[in-house]
Structure 1
Amino acid sequence: MAAQDYKFEGWMGLDKSAADGKMVWQEFPKQKPFEETDIDIQITHCGICGSDLHTLRSGWGPTPYPCCVGHEIVGKAVRVGSKVKKNIKVGDRVGVGAQNLSCLKPECYECSNGWEPHCQHGVTTFGDTFPDGSNSYGGYADYHRCHEHFVLKIPDGIPSAEAAPMLCGGITLYSPLKNNGCGPGKRVGIVGVGGLGHFGVLFAKALGADHVVGISRKAEKKEDVLKMGADEYISTDEDKDWAKHHARSLDLIISTVSSPNMPLMEYLQLLRTKGTFIQVGAPEDKLPDMNAFAFIAKGVKFGGSAIGPPWQIEEMLNFAVEKKIKPWINEYPMDEANKAIIDFEAGKPRYRITLVNKKHADV
């Protein structure tokens, strides 16, 4: 398929009202010119992530409107540059997560160590600017262009609708679990069992943790979370004295919550001595206040985690095939993206939404 045979069009946020379901379908105004290290993807599926909403409403800072969000992209490679070194050819099923580019220079401390998401010159998949001044546009669209380094083959054992949300939501939980020793002998808590957190429960159990605890405000998710494989569930709104009763019971906690009002000090009580708390949820304002003695008294660590690098996303996808991990997905037509983001914000999905581009999904 030649470059002139298709247009780069998608659901664009023109201002903050886009987060209220007022995105507009239109052509990308400053699409990145094709380079021979690029791959063009005909999009069949795109997951919806919380960062899509944060960006549409300028929650993390001013958004460069017009902006097309979506960074859990799966589709078919339709153009492969002559300098692409990966074993990807036209027709292959491929995916892209939340990063489109980093400097990739040998002298870069981050890139040379396989930590591309932390490169100071990284370009996110949407709402960002490439070195040539063109813009990055996401996957609520028909086509996507990406540097080969950040394009991944999707293993045969994962349906596209399930693979898409793994490319950000999945790796955002797999990475801190794997990097912080989740496995046999460990007791692990997942705070906030929503779209992100449900991946945490699935992966923690598959990685072999001895005891997995789902932690959310309401008890209504308990049955679901236990079906996902959790051994226990804590409702912070309804279980009386939960922090006291479960004190010093967990080795590792991954928090997906994005609220400045979360009971962070109580979460820290749940850690055992030398335990680790990793924050992946990103509030639009600040984290709650913390007392230093929450760390000093038990020698615990407080850290953060973003997405994983391409090599770890590939590892995660293969692990998901091996362990037969099945995320809980709700599918919406790409045509109904505005309705989908409203439902997402209202907390209706159980537990991720994948947009299906029906123009391409059966191609």
Structure 2
Amino acid sequence: MSSAEVPSKFHGWCAVSKDSIEGKFVWQEYEPKAFADDDVDIKIMYCGICASDLHTASGGWGEVDYPQVVGHEIVGEVVRVGSQVKHVKVGDIVGVGAQNDSCLECVQCKASRPQYCDNNPVGTYNGRYSREGPGKGAKSYGGYADYHRAPGHFVVKIPDGLDHAIAAPMLCGGVTVHSPLVQYGAGKTAKDVGIVGIGGLGHFGLLFAKALGANVTAISHSESKKADAEKMGATRFIATHSGSDDDFAPYKRSLDLIICTTNDASMPLIGYLSLLRPGGHLILVGAPEGPVARELPAFPFLFGNVSLGGSAIGSPSTIKEMLELAAKQNIKSWIERRPMEDVNRVIPDMNASKARYRRARFPVFVVYVLVNTKNGGKL
């Protein structure tokens, strides 16, 4: 497709108010950022639905610049590239995750950690571009749409052999857990890894921790997900029914690393910390809408020699490595494909947690992927 054939304005499902997640997204026209020499235009084929989409569209994470097209697990075909873009070409199948731009000049950006940009990390939606160029000041719009325009630095080619729909939710959900697993040595220095929560993020945690060579423990509030967790790679399951010490006591000091994916602000942090060996790390990747600990005693840290930290998404280079691992080891997201035009049915289902362990048909699925059939996506 030539630049003349790419529409000057895009169409997408727009959140226009906080109640959009009740099934009130509106299909309408919007104007993307002005095209720059380092930009890529993508004809969207698939877009995963991430919990972040709901938190943002509803205003749960703060102010929203309505109207807003959410969706940051985007896969599609390149239809236009700027003159400065060399790593992808028209016709390639590519992906864009949760970050769309950064300053590219600060210490963090130059260290391949643009998600921690010192200046302005720009979200794929609900952000504003700040780098000098024709798009400065424009809003960023996401993937519940026909097209997406992104700075090429944040566009990653999808490896051959990796199903495009399966790849989509890896671009945010997958890399959000893959990044800290690699950073903290899963399968290497961290031989025994725990994953808290078996939802969208958590199922990726189990899949990737196993792929990286770790002994994997699934941690959930009940045993209802045990069989599925084992299919995803867990060799041990801890049910934290009440969050009391009795739930954790048999497993104390048995893990080197825990990735916590839950969005529950009342999570039993002290119990999780007790599972760590000295020198261990508890890393938060879920993002509750409220504080996770109003009073956190010092003694578990002092006498356990453990640390509590966090991690956000992943860099384009980390996404590339993750996708290559998924292709090589045939890692598959547990997904259900739904037509893009069904957004106003799918989002309420997602909000009601119907995307988790619905057993109408095998296999069980954990995440939804929107399919844009008119752009070549396959249901």
What is residue 346 of structure 2 aligned with on the other side? 340
Partner SS state of residue 311, structure 1: helix
* 2: CA distance, partners of 1:157 / 1:290: 47
What is residue 197 of structure 2 aligned with on the other side? 192
When residues 33 and 231 of structure 1 are mapped into structure 2, their CA distance, relative to the original with a 3 A threshold, is same
What is residue 128 of structure 1 aligned with on the other side? 127
What is residue 330 of structure 1 aligned with on the other side? 336
Post-superposition CA distance 1:56-83 (Å, at most 9, x none): 1111111111000000000000011112
**Equivalences for 1:261-340 in 2 at 5 Å?**
261-288=266-293, 289-340=295-346
How far is 1:362 from its partner? 4.9
2:371 paired residue among 348, 356, 361:
356
* 2: CA distance, partners of 1:21 / 1:218: 30
Amino acid at match of 1:236: T
How far is 1:40 from its partner? 0.2
How far is 1:292 from its partner? 1.2
How far is 1:361 from its partner? 2.1
**Equivalences for 1:43-54 in 2 at 5 Å?**
43-54=44-55
How far is 1:4 from its partner? 4.8
* 1: CA distance, partners of 2:12 / 2:323: 27
**Equivalences for 1:223-234 in 2 at 5 Å?**
223-234=227-238
What is residue 133 of structure 2 aligned with on the other side? none
TM-score, structure 1 length as denominator?
0.96
Post-superposition CA distance 1:291-324 (Å, at most 9, x none): 1111111111111000111111101100111111
* 2: CA distance, partners of 1:166 / 1:362: 17
Partner SS state of residue 359, structure 1: helix
What is residue 109 of structure 2 aligned with on the other side? 111
When residues 117 and 362 of structure 1 are mapped into structure 2, their CA distance, relative to the original with a 3 A threshold, is closer
Partner SS state of residue 229, structure 1: coil
**Equivalences for 1:1-363 in 2 at 5 Å?**
1-5=1-5, 6=7, 7-28=9-30, 30-86=31-87, 88-105=88-105, 108-119=106-117, 120-131=119-130, 132-184=136-188, 186-209=191-214, 211-237=215-241, 241-288=246-293, 289-349=295-355, 350-362=365-377
When residues 249 and 335 of structure 1 are mapped into structure 2, their CA distance, relative to the original with a 3 A threshold, is same
Post-superposition CA distance 1:149-182 (Å, at most 9, x none): 0001100121111010000000001000000010
Post-superposition CA distance 1:108-136 (Å, at most 9, x none): 11111111000021111000111222100
Amino acid at match of 1:58: G
Q: Once superposed, what is the RMSD of the aligned Cα atoms? A: 1.5
Partner SS state of residue 42, structure 2: strand
Gaps of 5+ in 2: 131-135, 356-364
CA contact (8 A) 2:10 2:145 kept: yes
Post-superposition CA distance 1:21-64 (Å, at most 9, x none): 21101011x42011111000000000011110100111111111
CA contact (8 A) 2:274 2:304 kept: no
CA contact (8 A) 1:16 1:57 kept: yes
* 1: CA distance, partners of 2:145 / 2:222: 35
Aligned residues, how many? 358
* 2: CA distance, partners of 1:274 / 1:110: 26
* 1: CA distance, partners of 2:324 / 2:23: 35
Post-superposition CA distance 1:185-224 (Å, at most 9, x none): 6111000110000000000011001x21111112211110
* 2: CA distance, partners of 1:103 / 1:326: 33
* 1: CA distance, partners of 2:54 / 2:164: 22
Deviates more, 1:215-224 or 1:53-62: 215-224
CA contact (8 A) 1:218 1:238 kept: no
* 2: CA distance, partners of 1:361 / 1:265: 48
Partner SS state of residue 43, structure 2: strand
Percent sequence identity over matched residues? 52
Partner SS state of residue 201, structure 1: helix
* 2: CA distance, partners of 1:239 / 1:19: 31
Deviates more, 1:176-185 or 1:305-314: 176-185
CA contact (8 A) 2:371 2:377 kept: no
TM-score, structure 2 length as denominator?
0.92
